[in-house]
Amino acid sequence: MRSKQECDLGTPASASAERVTLTIDGHSVTVPAGTSVMRAAAEAGIAIPKLCATDSLDPFGSCRLCLVQVEGMRGTPASCTTPVAAGMKVTTQNDRLAGLRRNVMELYISDHPLDCLTCPANGHCELQDMAGAVGLREVRYGYAGENHCDKPKDESNPYFTFDASKCIVCSRCVRACADVQGTFALTIGGRGFDSHVSAGVEQSFLESDCVSCGACVQACPTATLSEKAIINRGQPEHSVITTCAYCGVGCSFRAEMKGSEVIRMVPAQDGQANRGHSCVKGRFAFGYATHPDRITSPMVRASIHEPWREVSWDEAIAHAASELKRIQAKYGKDSVGGITSSRCTNEETYLVQKLVRAGFGNNNVDTCARVCHSPTGYGLKQTLGESAGTQAFDSVKYADVIVVIGANPTDGHPVFASRMIQRLRQGAKLIVIDPRGIDLVRMPHVAATHHLKLKPGTNVALVNAIAHVIVTEDLIDHAFVAARCEQPAFEKWRKFIAEPQHSPEASEALTGVPAAEVRACARLYATGGNAAIYYGLGVTEHSQGSTTVMGIANLALATGNLGREGVGVNPLRGQNNVQGSCDMGSFPHEFPGYRHVSDDATRILFEAAWGVPLDAEPGLRIPNMFEAALDGSFKALYVQGEDIAQSDPDTQHVTAALEAMECVIVQDLFLNETAKFAHIFFPGSSFLEKDGTFTNAERRISRVRRVMPPLGGKADWEVTVELSNALGFPMHYTHPSQIMDEIARLTPSFTGVSYTRLDQLGSIQWPCNDEAPAGTPTMHEVEFTRGLGRFMLTPFVPSHERANDKFPLILTTGRILSQYNVGAQTRRTQNSLWHAEDRLEIHPHDAETRGIEDGDWCGIKSRSGETVLRARVSEAVQPGVVYTTFHFPESGANVITTEHSDWATNCPEYKVTAVQVIKVSHPSAWQERYARFSAEQQKLLDERETLAR
Amino acid sequence: MHIERLVEMLNDIAANQAADPDNAVAAIAQHLKRFWDPRMRAQISAHLAAGGEGLCDAAKEAVKRL
């Protein structure tokens, strides 16, 4: 059931510009052509009874409750399926209609449990409401006839219950699963009286293909599909609109509360990123926020092998400041640094970079975007002039050709994937460029026109081959290039890309993709209408990540697929605030708004605002920090909300660097892997415990609103403020809105952003300034941020990481729907029912030659290290390629990945690691060491000296 | 920092500029100035002064411009 706070107009809005005037119950009503009579009436304040209709789904016309009379029309048509017409005269209430509706309701209620007072939907049930609305007072048929009231419940899903006894077979859940989510996990089984909602082929919800997105629960008008939290805790009494803290889609949710307890998270119908949809993480997996593992008191210790000691906030802050000062006095001001978090708010990341630049006095600040989308920042800045995607998510509605490169949207960005699937079902063509057979390649009612199953590490060669076809077959949009691009750079690029070594035929041996397939793909992209590229970490996390991003931008420039809806270059950002953390100046070479630290005008601006001199030299990137720690020149690190010991490559290198530091300060919800190497621990606050903003993959800034007090007593931004004050660089903010006001004053693309404006508009896509006071859904419409678009040369420079006889397979890593990043949040929810361990996907051919069967333990050895995972034998990967996720620390996925990185940004090459896989029976030596170390650290936490309270 | 790692990083930058030989050295030097921390630049300069083992020619020329 959707939130009580949201009205339901019955059918979707019409996008028609044509207006139609009709009369409903004597009132003149004007609505867009194509609007249903039901919605036209609702917009005029006239509620027509309904059950099977809801405005998130196309009308179905099955319940027969919304019957109306239309002058000159025979019978009593369903108002949900009847479109308005000019001059139409509609009657929604009279004795005849009332009688018909009562008869319908009588039949429904004759086969429905009469347990309203103890029903979880009591007071929030459309069936109950409609019984009241039609004035049902008796059921003439009695209740003793054949009915469904003894149907069993399906409680297999951890988050919701399916109570078949309460089902009215309105098909809203089935339609939501098909039309909104695109999974088709539900159907109506049986006929007539036996009709019933079936998950899969008479399976339980958990056994079925259900992805637990919650769309069916949202759509259900009765208690049939109810959140277990509602069943167990009762209905919420107030709600607050906030933004999900999982992936880069940035869904808007209504946190429905009892006091300070979150009962459920319901996707906001007017959410501008998610349009009322959700996924299993945002909808249900918020329980980590109150998990017993939360650490809510600051802690300190002298060394990582000593027990923790709980201390007051004042003592913890003073100790941290003292340590940072001591280390800077001893080793120099550049011996310390900080890492901002893409899981924290814009305001918090802004403060951490400000603390480092102004408080620490250096530019040693970096963010986890270093290990995911830093090549996006570099590549799009070089070509288009702005380090961000070009479109709004809504843009996909106008795409004719959708290219997905190195992304797995149904797992990584599921709510946007559903939007994409809706467009594909309308007929858009799909090109998938990925070594793996991701779900989008073939799923119900969706099939890729082309799946270019390239060899890992050959993105640049393939993108160049596509460009070669566009150039040599003259598929270029010459008018666009002439008007919008630098001509010398274009001519240089055209000559470069036309060279024979870039042809599909020449690169086939490198990429493994048949030349004819590449040519067909290039022709479709260049001539198929609006063509939009969506890409992910399969593009960026390579030693050529930045080159591929530039190559993708070149394709869009050459074909004129930029500057309007339906096209564009769209990086699918991994974490919720990757875009925002980059925007906020988290990189060591850039101030907020992507302005280089050496730019005098910008630096003078910040120096004047902050009142201190600022360093004009770039600082250390995260991997550089590790190197510097190991050579003794980098000694202290403040890590807010990141888990570099799990997420960064070559784990043993990372942990050695952490051990080499004298002071590691971790601010987090839990004792994460990095915190096991920390000397000071600040309790972090979840997104439910603080105010702020997140910026999603479409540059959309959305409010995060506090719904419960911070369990540790302070929001993350408050901790940074106090640390800065203790270091002698005073910060005076009393609310995050003041931080945003400062960001707006200092950042040209944010000058129009404020909390007041966000409250007015719901969300804002930057740039937002005098030129675009309501924000910018589509970038580069008239000119590029840098003026003219610039083609960049994109040579294919192979990775140093090569397969050979000793390491004959290539490992790639990725994500899965139910888990999120390092898993610190989702592993502490029931999402682990779907994914309880990381497994190694291996092709049947490679498995067979190694004697490996599904479920066997496999040793995976690379040049960096060795770990052991259980095998999943699967044809999703091609022969010669293996794949795993990295959601569980004990998996040690990053023990295997190497230090190789993108040439321009040092983004790690997670997607190409040469490995050997053999059948084993024991954990790896690293896993045994990890288990001992983790047990020691857990013991030191459990035995911590607690504060007297 | 491990000089071998810096040499590899710098050679990678150079390899990615090789398609535009007329501008490669300037582009490499510019990249180092914009993205490398001063201690990294100092270390690679010292390495070049000591012979620059492992550095490709364009990288050596670029380091001279730091």
With contacts defined as CB-CB under 8 Å, which chain A residues touch B2? 627, 630-631
Q: What is the mean pLDDT of chain A?
A: 96
Token digits of residue A493: 């690029």
Residue-wise pLDDT for A314-334, tens only, equals 999 999 999 999 999 999 999
Q: What is the mean pLDDT of residues A784-813?
A: 96
Angle between helices A600-610 and A736-746 (to 10 degrees): 150
Q: Searching chain A, which residue's CA lies closest to the CA of residue B20?
A: A793
Q: Searching chain B, which residue's CA lies closest to the CA of residue A900?
A: B9
Residue-wise pLDDT for A6-29, tens only, equals 899 999 999 999 999 999 999 999
With contacts defined as CB-CB under 8 Å, which chain B residues touch A797? 12, 15-16
Kindly list the distances between the CA atom of residue A940 and the CA atoms of A297, A301, A673, in Å, as whole numbers in the listed order: 15, 10, 14
Report CA dihedral (A497, A501, A502, A504) to the nearest 10 degrees: 150
**Residue type for A509, please?**
A
Distance of CA A184 to the CA centre of its chain: 22
Q: Residue with structure tokens 């270093």? A: A370
* DSSP code per residue over A863-922: SS-EEEEEEEE-TTSPTTEEEEE--SGGG-HHHHS-S-B-TTT--B-TT-EEEEEEE-SS
Cross-chain residue pair B31–A364, CB shorter than 8 Å: no
Structure confidence at residue A533 (pLDDT): 98
pLDDT over 90 at A1, yes or no: no
Cross-chain residue pair B35–A631, CB shorter than 8 Å: no
Cross-chain residue pair B35–A618, CB shorter than 8 Å: yes
Cross-chain residue pair A633–B20, CB shorter than 8 Å: no
A628 touches chain B (CB under 8 A): yes
Size of interface A-B (CB pairs under 8 A): 63
Cross-chain residue pair A800–B8, CB shorter than 8 Å: yes
Token digits of residue A482: 């002439």
Token digits of residue B32: 């180092």
Angle between helices A504-511 and A459-472 (to 10 degrees): 170
Residue-wise pLDDT for A889-913, tens only, equals 999 999 999 999 999 999 999 999 9
Q: Which of A364, A596, A627 sits opposite B1 (nearest CB)?
A: A627
Token digits of residue A469: 């076809």
Structure confidence at residue A4 (pLDDT): 83
- A380 three-state secondary structure: helix
Structure confidence at residue A949 (pLDDT): 56
**Domain boundaries in chain B?**
3-64
Q: Which of A617, A797, A906 sits opposite B16 (nearest CB)?
A: A797
pLDDT over 90 at A144, yes or no: no
Phi/psi for A544 (5° steps) reads -115, 25
Structure confidence at residue A948 (pLDDT): 67
With contacts defined as CB-CB under 8 Å, which chain B residues touch A630? 1-2
A849 touches chain B (CB under 8 A): no
Kindly list the distances between the CA atom of residue A793 and the CA atoms of A19, A133, A561, A620, in Å, as whole numbers in the listed order: 50, 68, 19, 27
CA distance A796 to chain B (A): 8
Q: Which of B1, B19, B40 sits opposite A795 (nearest CB)?
A: B19
Residue-wise pLDDT for A594-624, tens only, equals 999 999 999 999 999 999 999 999 999 999 9
Phi/psi for A274 (5° steps) reads -110, -10
Measured distance CA(A161)–CA(A208) in Å, rounded? 14
Cis, peptide link before residue B21, omega less than 30° from 0: no
Q: What is the mean pLDDT of residues B39-62?
A: 97
Q: What is the mean pLDDT of residues A874-886?
A: 94
pLDDT over 90 at A449, yes or no: yes
Token digits of residue A888: 């569980």
Token digits of residue A404: 């997905």
Measured distance CA(A160)–CA(A226) in Å, rounded? 5
Residue-wise pLDDT for A48-60, tens only, equals 999 999 999 999 9
Cross-chain residue pair B39–A899, CB shorter than 8 Å: no
Kindly list the distances between the CA atom of residue B9 and the CA atoms of A894, B13, B46, B65, in Å, as whole numbers in the listed order: 21, 6, 16, 17
DSSP class of A20: E
Residue-wise pLDDT for A209-268, tens only, equals 999 999 999 999 999 999 999 999 999 999 999 999 999 999 999 999 999 999 999 999
Structure confidence at residue A142 (pLDDT): 87
Measured distance CA(A705)–CA(A687) in Å, rounded? 8
The closest of A670, A686, A832, A839 to A281, measured between CA atoms, is: A832
Structure confidence at residue A3 (pLDDT): 86
**Residue type for B55, please?**
L
Q: What is the mean pLDDT of residues A724-728?
A: 98
Measured distance CA(A307)–CA(A18) in Å, rounded? 71
Interface residue of A799, A903, A906, A909 to substitute, partner B, most B CBs within 10 Å? A903
**Contact (CB, 8 A) for A339 and A638:** yes
Distance of CA A537 to the CA centre of its chain: 13
Measured distance CA(B27)–CA(A567) in Å, rounded? 31
The count of C-alpha atoms lying within 13 angstroms of the C-alpha of A377, restricted to the half-sphere facing its C-beta, is: 31
Measured distance CA(A283)–CA(A291) in Å, rounded? 17
Residue-wise pLDDT for A646-680, tens only, equals 999 999 999 999 999 999 999 999 999 999 999 99
Interface residue of B6, B16, B41 to substitute, partner A, most A CBs within 10 Å? B16
Q: What percent of chain B clears pLDDT 90, i.e. is strictly above it?
A: 97
Beta strand A19-24 pairing with A186-189: unpaired
Interface residue of B30, B37, B41, B47 to substitute, partner A, most A CBs within 10 Å? B37
A795 touches chain B (CB under 8 A): yes
Residue-wise pLDDT for A679-699, tens only, equals 999 999 999 999 999 999 999
Token digits of residue A388: 């961000």
Calculate Rg over the CA atoms of chain A: 29
Structure confidence at residue A5 (pLDDT): 84
CA distance B65 to chain A (A): 16
Kindly list the distances between the CA atom of residue A923 and the CA atoms of A194, A526, A733, A857, B41, in Å, as whole numbers in the listed order: 52, 50, 50, 9, 42
With contacts defined as CB-CB under 8 Å, which chain A residues touch B15? 795, 797, 903
Structure confidence at residue B16 (pLDDT): 97
Kindly list the distances between the CA atom of residue A5 and the CA atoms of A40, A173, A238, A266, in Å, as whole numbers in the listed order: 20, 20, 9, 11
Q: Which of A543, A589, A628 sits opposite B1 (nearest CB)?
A: A628
Cross-chain residue pair B5–A899, CB shorter than 8 Å: yes
Q: What is the mean pLDDT of residues A703-717?
A: 97
Measured distance CA(A945)–CA(A949) in Å, rounded? 12
Cross-chain residue pair A793–B19, CB shorter than 8 Å: yes
Question: What residues contact A774, with CB distance under 8 A and at least 6 apart?
Answer: A761, A764, A768
A129 touches chain B (CB under 8 A): no
The closest of A237, A282, A225, A227 to A261, measured between CA atoms, is: A237
Kindly list the distances between the CA atom of residue A177 and the CA atoms of A56, A143, A171, A197, A940, in Å, as whole numbers in the listed order: 12, 32, 10, 12, 47
**Contact (CB, 8 A) for A125 and A223:** yes
Q: Which of A364, A618, A794 sits opposite B36 (nearest CB)?
A: A618
Calculate Rg over the CA atoms of chain B: 10
Q: What is the mean pLDDT of residues A160-184?
A: 97
Q: What is the mean pLDDT of residues A545-558?
A: 98
Question: What residues contact A400, with CB distance under 8 A and at least 6 apart?
Answer: A428, A429, A528, A529, A530, A531, A566
Q: Residue A255: beta bridge partners? A: A240, A265
With contacts defined as CB-CB under 8 Å, which chain B residues touch A621? 35, 37
Q: What is the mean pLDDT of residues A821-849?
A: 96
Kindly list the distances between the CA atom of residue A274 and the CA atoms of A8, A248, A250, A420, B36, in Å, as whole numbers in the listed order: 17, 11, 8, 12, 39
Confidence of residue A462 (pLDDT cuts 50, 70, 90): very high
With contacts defined as CB-CB under 8 Å, which chain B residues touch A633? 39
Residue-wise pLDDT for A501-524, tens only, equals 999 999 999 999 999 999 999 999
